[in-house]
Amino acid sequence: MPIAVFLMGPTAVGKSSVAGQLCKHLDAELISVDSGQVYRGMNIGTAKPDREFRQRVPHHLIDIRDITESYSAAEFRDDALSLIGSVLARGRTPLLVGGTMFYFSVLENGISRLPGADPAVRSEIERIGRERGLEYLHQQLAEADPVSAEKIRIHDAQRLKRALEIFMISGRSPSSLMAESRPQGMQIQYQKIALFRPRPILHERIKERFLEMIEKGLVREVETLTKTLDTPEIPPSMRSVGYRQVIDYLNGRSTNAEMIEKGMAATRQLAKRQLTWLRNQSGVAWVNAENRNPERAIAGYLKSLNGAADGTGARAIGDKSSAA
């Protein structure tokens, strides 16, 4: 069965650097698994690989949409499966690198074709939310679909409202729709690698990287992008961590110091969510990115699996206790 490699991990853990070094050991092409890097112009805030690196190592799914265009998880899955097939046909290893965990999930497990958005239904949900609050909406979801309510935090407004929208449109719980048979892709064995660093070190790296983004011109990047918009409404592509805090600053809703502090705090929260998701996955081999030459450990691990019956058991290439 053909093999594709997932290189996952929280934001700022060093996935791109390790991926670049790993390509020296594997004849690989990189497929970006990042919902922000698909957008042209969103360079600094998404830590997009520079052109020199992208010329040296083949990359895919970077700069394929304008910021006003949508790009769904279903589209990612279709594109990624097509690219995996092409890379394998060239006799190379598909190396999927990024931190958008939902993309990894839908690629491996498929995705249900849920009903599309309904402006009237969404407007009604928004009205109820304004009048009665997110706790009330979450309570309504819990009554309609306890499984989804268990997975969605009260203050995760976007997912909460979408789940209620699905229920109101279809009359069925989102969890039951998701559990139905999903479209199948090609038969591929995914080898899943997760990078981690001890929490204090990761938090320091998050701080340093966000400050570096500001120094490189993140505010100017966001300002330039917003000037290209035809309407004052900010597109979904720019509501991600970092961009959202800079937009608040540009609109006078925070000071520069507050913007930086909020940006770093939001990035730490993102990293926590990513690690929580990863710890709940099976068959993940954990690698401490603080170790010397982690790419060599990964390459050796992958070679040891060559010809193995399966790669489904969870493994720790290094100690993963500090990833908690």
pLDDT digits (tens, 9 = 90+) for 14-46: 999 999 999 989 999 999 999 999 999 999 999
pLDDT digits (tens, 9 = 90+) for 148-170: 999 999 988 989 999 999 999 98
Please list the residue range(s) of the chain that carry CATH number 3.40.50.300.
Answer: 3-111+187-323
Residue-by-residue DSSP string for 27-90: -EEEEE--TTTTBTT--TTTTPPPHHHHHHS-EESSS-B-TTS---HHHHHHHHHHHHHHHHHT
Q: Could you tell me the fold of the domain covering 3-111+187-323?
A: Rossmann fold (3.40.50)
b/e sequence 46-61, b meaning 16+ C-beta within 10 Å? bbbbeeebbeebebbb
Please list the residue range(s) of the chain that carry CATH number 1.10.20.140.
Answer: 119-179
**Nearest by Cα to 299 from 154, 143, 191:** 191
pLDDT digits (tens, 9 = 90+) for 296-317: 999 999 988 865 544 444 455 6
User: Given this model, what pLDDT does residue 186 score?
Assistant: 64
Report the side by side order of strands in the sheet with 189-196: 59-60, 28-32, 93-97, 3-8, 189-196, 284-288, 315-316
Name the class of domain 119-179.
mainly alpha
